[in-house]
Structure 1
Amino acid sequence: MEIKDLINRADQINDLMTRQDILFKEINNIDKQKLKELEENWQDPKKFQPVNLLRSLIAQQLLQDKNINEDMINQIKTAIINDNISVYNKSLGSLQKFPNYTKGASDMYKSYKKPFPVLFPFLYSQSEKNSTKTFISELLNKIQIKYKLESTNFLAKQTGFEGPQYFGKSYITGILVPKEAKGIRNAYQIFFKIDKDGIHGGFDKGTFVKNKNFKNDVKDYKTWDEFLIDIENIIPKWREHNSSLDFTDVSNKSESIKPENSTDKTGTTQPEQMDLPLNKILYGPPGTGKTYHTINKALEIIGVDDEDNTLPKEEIERLEREDRDRLTKIFNYHIYTTGQIVFTTFHQSMGYEDFIEGIKPIVPKKEDGQIIYKVKQGIFKRICLEASYSVYLNNKTNDNTASKKDKKKAFKTLTRKDFKDNVGKPYVLIIDEINRGNVSAIFGELITLIEEDKRLGKKESLQITLPYSKKRFGVPPNLHIIGTMNTADRSVEALDTALRRRFNFEERMPDPEIIKEFGKSKNSDLKVDLVKLLETINERIEVLVDRDHTIGHSYFMSVKTMKDLKNAFYDKIIPLLQEYFYGDYSKMEMVIGSGFFVDKKNKDAIVFATKGNEFALEGKIYKLRDVSKFDDTKMMEALVSLKIKGYPEPKSITNNDEPK
């Protein structure tokens, strides 16, 4: 391979990216034998991977001599989203048999709206990827050899045409930084980029380096030798700028994560051991962002993004503020592509057989076939096997494309020393609404094994024999469990005491200041102070009920206009208060004021046989007004009656509207 080959290939890929006629011409003329190999590689009857399934079905259509175009790709996407793929593959059956499949989840192809990222792997083989990256490594080595840059002191990073998540891109890059930087984004870089226009390169800074006065030095070069000679002028200032950085401080900005990475034998970047607890539950009232923040927590543990770059806590926090979509994209990458994150929700029907293992019916492929029953792995056992196999890869082999059968065999060979000496990639199981299931029945005997000191490789490690498969089983040390728990839910008290003891608990309470900083009302003309409104309501709820039943800030995050606020009260806040107070509208009136109720005296309307101590004849019959019919003036009048702290006393309000 030569530089000119990379330039030509970059030009070809650029055409594929920008011209669909060329892209589909290439796709519809792929060799049948290659298609069969690709289709087999993308098939996984045990796990739902939406993009690989899409590619597999496209390959099957091509093998049937059908022409692929953008409309057909979109039709296949829709069939997968709606669990209606029988027209393309009858043997696969319903997708709802996969735990990570959600019917109607239209965002599963959010990053694959255009045909190119879907089709790129058809046209860029694994062997081409490997040979390209090998050649880039050779170019980086030439720089190191010519200027005597010891490989033990410098970190070299090469990216080929595959790009993040195998999306495909029309250029390659090579980057050099000091090894103590722990990642290319934390340092000043010597870099080169090769695209259809030739060679570009020079001196630049990583995205995490804070230097507003920095000016990069990037040029275009006609030949590689010209670039290589120019590096001599760059190296002194590159060294000088990097010597001014405190890499220790950069790596320790995150209190919970040590971002220093190692590379295992599969060539995968591995974050160091986490300081985060293995088992954590986020708990608090509804609307406080518990599920929302599981994304951040999970990515803190995983420690790398979708391009295999270090993802420290401060970068997660920056993305949280500036680019939440990017954070969600990385999260989905680790769910659907790497499989390092698994998300599930506990419910009343969840059982041991769904979570650990159980005997399940296997639907026959033929209509007249007989139903058979097999022991099938549950969500928890599957992720434990994947995490254990990661430990195996860290020490034993280069093969990271093994079947489930191979992984089981590998697991049997692992010893306590293997788990003790090898980290493996971190895996995260997120259990939303953990308190809504029968935890004792779901976890069963495994409740003991999730303790940190009972994990495989620890001094007090334990294994048990599973009741259905009769196999020995233990929980690996690189599996993290994150749960969420709604304290206002009446089933909270049923949470198993043994589970409480084995989890660290992090409280998430309403934070009105978040509305001020990140809410849509920040730059709006809304005349109501949402921060004071939420504080006022919650102070009253805390007195009348308790702090576990306060209202979360998320209910006001999307409020930008008076109409939005009216909808928030009508759809969310009032129904929630009705549940909290069990229909005791007199207490609801104490919280939200009389402006939301129709005022009707009852003493002339109803005649009682005798007087009662618990009912006053001058009392009210409480009926809610129909908030959905409020105009802005009526809504403001109702809010005035709420007596938001810091606001002037309300004037009299006539509440004679028809009841809701």
Structure 2
Amino acid sequence: MIEPQVDRSAVLEEVTHQPNIPLNQILYGPPGTGKTYQVVERALAILDPSFLAAAPNREAMKARYDELVAQGAISFVTFHQSFGYEDFVEGIKPVMQGGQLSYVLEDGIFLEAVRAAGGALPRMGEQAAPAARESAPAQTPQPEPSPLLSPNAQVWRIYIDGGAPISQLRDKVLARGEMRVGHFGMSPRDWNTVSADELHSTAALFRDGVRVGDLVLLASGVDTVSAVGVVTDEYAYDPTTDPTLNLEYVHSRAVNWLQTGLRVDARELTGKRFSPVTLQRVKDVSAETVLQRLGIAPLPFKSPAASEPEAVQPEEAGPPRRHVLIIDEINRGNVAKIFGELITLLETGKRAGRAEALTVKLPLSRRPLSVPDTLYVVGTMNTADRSLTQLDTALRRRFTFQPVWPEPEVLRELTIDGITLDLRKFLYAINERIERLLSREQMIGHAYLLDIPGDLPGVAGALRERILPQLEEYFFDDWGKIREVLDDPHKEEHLQFVQERKIGGEKRHRINEAAFGELEAFRLVYSRLSDDTFPFEA
């Protein structure tokens, strides 16, 4: 197999002057040009430039690449139409634990790559949100770290998604560490922009009545408590991309849920029954009493002078080390949906340690995140799927783009029955006509003819099974233009790959299988072009 002669010096030039190595780069070009093939060299140029400088062969490069993958220095993912934020960053995933369905919040491949690059990112806990746990109050591991309870903490009872005993919405809110309510008949808007007089009475309680450090009881069913937690943040208007929440439940308060999956009678816990309203203050019972009856150890009190809940402390950052995240077919996914708020953090000047560094709070886990400048993102993009000009503007601004065009000069000249078939000229002639009829972004890559048997059946199979289907897609079954690409109008009929006939005044086309067995049919694709036309020595 002949290897494409990638310009290794150009790749090494980026490594020689380290500040010039692009943190975010995309290799783009038509299909079959070796974009994924070049990714191996790009990764080695970043992670082991001295090895690459020794000009190893392809087998050695691939072996070194595999070693780096095994060491956790390289991550690989392929985008597709169903790939989303939950897969890439973080998401709630259903799991079976002890025969019961639970929901857990899991980190995606991007957060794992951030951590592998030495970024400071708190790890997810092992807590899960049970969908339905039929059990009496049980010994539950005490929360760590403990939330701060206000010295004069109020006790509140809330319904989320009504009193149904099982609710997917309620489970999701629990997993997110929140309590949420709907609009109460008001128009959807941020309640921080609304005066207290304009708010629904329950909305005013949710925004202003509930205080940081108060205890909240979640009811799921008449007079049944299923969870208990401490409010840890002020009101937030938080529409999300989650279809379960974004239409109605956009008003949020952060809660550290101490116990979930309970089934405790309200009268035993508080000495009274609950009213049917969404949010109710439970009077004449202290937070300490409720916690004691649930078997939860006393919580530390929040200092009256403290105006903010204790911040989550990120785990200590590991040593800075380069990590390469490879995203194959980056343009096949919905980039805005997949990256979310991360698209800003990827920008070189917004990376951790830079003068304009930014940190965001992840919407599900509420963890702070900044992207280290030791994380390199290398993407590949097939321009036949989507033109570069149509790519998301935010992505284009934050990535450098490296073109990877067809290289017909790496192909062979075959000698079949004493006659030369020049695959270089064959591919060049096809691409020259495609570029004229369509665009440069929709050509045929050299890989289509690179690894084929060196005989006529091998070339015929590549044309029939690889190139023709691609041309059908490019030209939307316009067989007249496909004939032009193969120069069939200038051949004798028996040597035309696609024959054209008029039947009843209409043009009809058919594949001529006999032409695939004629060497001259392939040579005539390029034979009308002079040797001066080709950018290589003919």
Q: CA deviation at 1:558?
A: 1.5
Aligned counterpart, 1:278: 23
Aligned counterpart, 1:556: 449
Residues 374 and 404 of structure 1: CA distance in aligned 2, closer, same or farther (over 3 Å): closer
Aligned counterpart, 2:468: 574
Residues 598 and 574 of structure 1: CA distance in aligned 2, closer, same or farther (over 3 Å): closer
The one-letter amino acid of 1:444's match is G
In structure 1, which of residues 489, 509, 513 is the aligned counterpart of residue 385 of structure 2? 489
**1:329 partnered with 2:63:** yes
Q: CA deviation at 1:462?
A: 0.3
Aligned counterpart, 1:469: 365
The one-letter amino acid of 2:501's match is K
Check the 8 A contact 1:449/1:455 in 2, yes or no. yes
Pairwise CA RMSD of aligned residues?
A: 3.3
Q: CA deviation at 1:593?
A: 2.9
Q: Tell me, what secondary structure is at the counterpart of 1:363? A: strand
In structure 2, which of residues 117, 120, 127 is the aligned counterpart of residue 387 of structure 1? 117
Residues 293 and 411 of structure 1: CA distance in aligned 2, closer, same or farther (over 3 Å): farther
In structure 1, which of residues 547, 568, 572 is the aligned counterpart of residue 440 of structure 2? 547
In structure 1, which of residues 512, 516, 534 is the aligned counterpart of residue 427 of structure 2? 534
Residues 117-159 of structure 1 show CA distances to partners (whole Å, capped at 9, x for unaligned) of xxxxxxxxxxxxxxxxxxxxxxxxxxxxxxxxxxxxxxxxxxx
Residues 229-257 of structure 1 show CA distances to partners (whole Å, capped at 9, x for unaligned) of xxxxxxxxxxxxxxxxxxxxxx9994222
Q: Tell me, what secondary structure is at the counterpart of 1:468? A: coil
Q: CA deviation at 1:545?
A: 0.6
Residues 473 and 256 of structure 1: CA distance in aligned 2, closer, same or farther (over 3 Å): same
Alignment of 1:365-404 (within 5 A): 366=98, 369-388=99-118
In structure 2, which of residues 334, 347, 363 is the aligned counterpart of residue 451 of structure 1? 347
Aligned counterpart, 1:123: none
Aligned counterpart, 2:15: 257
Q: Which whole-Å CA distance do the structure 1 matches of 2:65 and 2:501 have between them?
A: 56
Q: CA deviation at 1:514?
A: 2.0
Alignment of 1:173-572 (within 5 A): 254-258=12-16, 273=18, 275-303=20-48, 310-311=50-51, 313-315=52-54, 318-319=55-56, 323-336=57-70, 338-364=71-97, 366=98, 369-388=99-118, 412-414=315-317, 424-490=320-386, 494-516=390-412, 527-559=420-452, 560-572=454-466
Q: Which whole-Å CA distance do the structure 2 matches of 1:512 and 1:446 have between them?
A: 39
Q: Tell me, what secondary structure is at the counterpart of 2:384? A: coil
Q: CA deviation at 1:530?
A: 0.9
Residues 451-485 of structure 1 show CA distances to partners (whole Å, capped at 9, x for unaligned) of 01100000000000001101101111100000011
Residues 314 and 573 of structure 1: CA distance in aligned 2, closer, same or farther (over 3 Å): same
Larger C-alpha radius of gyration, 1 or 2?
2
Q: CA deviation at 1:363?
A: 2.5
Structure 1: unaligned runs, 5 residues or longer:
1-250, 260-272, 305-309, 393-401, 607-616, 649-660
Q: Tell me, what secondary structure is at the counterpart of 1:380? A: helix
Q: Which whole-Å CA distance do the structure 2 matches of 1:438 and 1:381 have between them?
A: 18
Q: CA deviation at 1:278?
A: 0.2
The one-letter amino acid of 2:13's match is E
Q: Which whole-Å CA distance do the structure 2 matches of 1:646 and 1:253 have between them?
A: 34
Q: CA deviation at 1:637?
A: 3.1
In structure 2, which of residues 472, 475, 483 is the aligned counterpart of residue 589 of structure 1? 483
Q: Tell me, what secondary structure is at the counterpart of 1:484? A: strand
Higher strand share: 2
Check the 8 A contact 2:23/2:376 in 1, yes or no. yes
The one-letter amino acid of 1:363's match is M
Check the 8 A contact 1:360/1:375 in 2, yes or no. yes
Q: Tell me, what secondary structure is at the counterpart of 1:257? A: helix
Q: CA deviation at 1:347?
A: 0.3
Check the 8 A contact 2:471/2:482 in 1, yes or no. yes
**1:626 partnered with 2:513:** yes
Residues 279 and 522 of structure 1: CA distance in aligned 2, closer, same or farther (over 3 Å): farther
Structure 2: unaligned runs, 5 residues or longer:
1-8, 126-311, 489-494, 532-538
Q: CA deviation at 1:620?
A: 3.4
Q: Which whole-Å CA distance do the structure 2 matches of 1:577 and 1:410 have between them?
A: 56
Provide the aligned length of Structure 1 versus Structure 2.
331
Aligned counterpart, 1:638: 521
Q: Which whole-Å CA distance do the structure 2 matches of 1:388 and 1:558 have between them?
A: 40
Residues 404 and 524 of structure 1: CA distance in aligned 2, closer, same or farther (over 3 Å): farther
Q: Which whole-Å CA distance do the structure 2 matches of 1:411 and 1:258 have between them?
A: 34
Residues 381-426 of structure 1 show CA distances to partners (whole Å, capped at 9, x for unaligned) of 111011125x99xxxxxxxxx9988xxx995345xxx9xxx7x221
Q: Which whole-Å CA distance do the structure 2 matches of 1:470 and 1:524 have between them?
A: 70
Task: Give the percent of matched residue pairs that are identical in Structure 1 and Structure 2.
Answer: 40
Q: Which whole-Å CA distance do the structure 1 matches of 2:370 and 2:444 have between them?
A: 40
Q: Which whole-Å CA distance do the structure 2 matches of 1:494 and 1:252 have between them?
A: 28
Check the 8 A contact 2:434/2:442 in 1, yes or no. yes
Q: CA deviation at 1:526?
A: 7.3
Residues 600 and 382 of structure 1: CA distance in aligned 2, closer, same or farther (over 3 Å): closer
The one-letter amino acid of 1:360's match is K
Q: Tell me, what secondary structure is at the counterpart of 1:297? A: helix
Q: CA deviation at 1:448?
A: 0.2
Residues 355 and 620 of structure 1: CA distance in aligned 2, closer, same or farther (over 3 Å): same
Question: What is the TM-score with the length of structure 1 in the denominator?
Answer: 0.46
Q: Tell me, what secondary structure is at the counterpart of 1:277? A: coil
Alignment of 1:57-72 (within 5 A): none
Q: CA deviation at 1:496?
A: 1.1
Residues 620-647 of structure 1 show CA distances to partners (whole Å, capped at 9, x for unaligned) of 31111237x943xx2x132244243457
Check the 8 A contact 1:334/1:341 in 2, yes or no. yes
Q: Which whole-Å CA distance do the structure 2 matches of 1:566 and 1:252 have between them?
A: 35
Residues 547 and 430 of structure 1: CA distance in aligned 2, closer, same or farther (over 3 Å): same
Q: Which whole-Å CA distance do the structure 2 matches of 1:496 and 1:253 have between them?
A: 26
Moved more, 560-569 or 525-534: 525-534
Residues 552 and 314 of structure 1: CA distance in aligned 2, closer, same or farther (over 3 Å): same
Check the 8 A contact 1:526/1:561 in 2, yes or no. no
Aligned counterpart, 2:501: 601
Check the 8 A contact 2:435/2:443 in 1, yes or no. yes
Q: Which whole-Å CA distance do the structure 2 matches of 1:621 and 1:252 have between them?
A: 49
The one-letter amino acid of 1:314's match is A
The one-letter amino acid of 2:512's match is R
The one-letter amino acid of 1:325's match is E
Q: Which whole-Å CA distance do the structure 2 matches of 1:335 and 1:564 have between them?
A: 34
Check the 8 A contact 1:342/1:430 in 2, yes or no. yes
Q: CA deviation at 1:534?
A: 1.1
Q: CA deviation at 1:585?
A: 0.6
Check the 8 A contact 1:342/1:383 in 2, yes or no. yes
Q: CA deviation at 1:508?
A: 0.8
